[in-house]
Amino acid sequence: MAASLFIEAALLVLASALALWLRPWRCQSAQSLPWPWVFTVAVMPFLWALDGLTGVSLSPRLSGAPLLVLLAGWPLTVLALLPAALGAALVGPLDWTEALHRAVWLGLLPATLMLGLGAVVRRWLPPHPATYVLGRGCVAVLAACGMAVVTFTLLRRQAGAAVDASMMAALLGAWGETVITAWVVALGVACRPHWLATYSDRLYWPNAARG
């Protein structure tokens, strides 16, 4: 138990140090800060603490990290994880070990998987807004959340825990999160592309951008 907590803390510290080193705030200003980004950061503690807020242990806990990656990029998403964990500890309420646990498994792992899957989409799929909406805003979200759930489940099973019901609840939550994220991304591409730090016409609609 102590070893796993140390590993989780080390992963979060290393990711946060890398995000700080990248200095992502250089590309942002108070005037350009999109309100969906601010809203997502604000609601993440409540998403992470749904089981405590509802009193139902099998309530699916949503992540919010995949959407935040699309809105703000990986570095700013990682920097939002610690405040989100502190907020979840307060509203849950959760002890610090559980808050750390959720920061890694609901935040850092899905966010990092989204970064890798986004690179795959850009490398192997044709540039088009539909590629972004369906590839990064839908399939990548479901894959990132699903892989995080499966990884966590396998680790807990190795520890002898019974996790079948909680895994099913988490997978249902991943489906719900995918629908919400895809809706926000589609709306953003169609009406407010500046909301999405990971989207530009130059990257996903090069012919139209040149025209």
Q: Average pLDDT, stretch 5-15?
A: 92
Residue 26 domain-assigned (yes or no):
no
- Which tops the pLDDT comparison, 110 or 38? 110
Beta strands in the chain (DSSP E): none
**42, 52, 55: which is closest to 93 by C-alpha?**
52
Asked whether the predicted pLDDT for residue 141 surpasses 90, the reply is yes
- What mean pLDDT is predicted for residues 169-198? 90
| pLDDT for position 31 | 47
pLDDT of residue 161: 52
The better pLDDT of the pair 173, 75 is held by: 75
pLDDT number for residue 29: 53
More confident call, 122 vs 3: 122
In our burial notation (b when 16+ CB lie closer than 10 A, e otherwise), range 102-139 reads: bbbbbbbbbbbbbbebbeebbeebebebebbbbbbbbb
- What is the pLDDT of the chain when averaged over all its residues? 86
Query: pLDDT, tens digit, for every residue of 159-182?
Result: 555 556 677 777 888 899 999 999
Render pLDDT for 17-39 as a digit per residue (tens, 0 to 9).
Answer: 999 999 887 766 544 556 788 88
Q: Is residue 100 part of a domain?
A: yes
Q: Is residue 89 domain-resident?
A: yes
Residue 4 has pLDDT above 90, yes or no: no
205 found inside a domain: yes
Closest CA to 208 of 182, 200, 191, 122: 200
Instruction: List pLDDT tens digits, range 43-69.
Output: 999 999 988 888 777 677 789 999 999
Of 55 and 196, the one with more pLDDT? 196
> Does position 82 have pLDDT exceeding 80, yes or no?
yes
Does any domain span residue 120? yes
Structural domains counted in the chain? 1
Q: How confident is the model at residue 208 (pLDDT cuts 50, 70, 90)?
A: low
Domain that residue 16 falls in: 2-21+31-210
The yes-or-no verdict on residue 154 having pLDDT over 70 is yes
Distance CA 15, CA 79 (A): 9
49 domain residue, yes or no: yes
Average of per-residue pLDDT across 80-94: 92
pLDDT at 153: 75
pLDDT above 80: residue 152: no
Contact yes or no for 68/77 (Cβ under 8 A)? yes
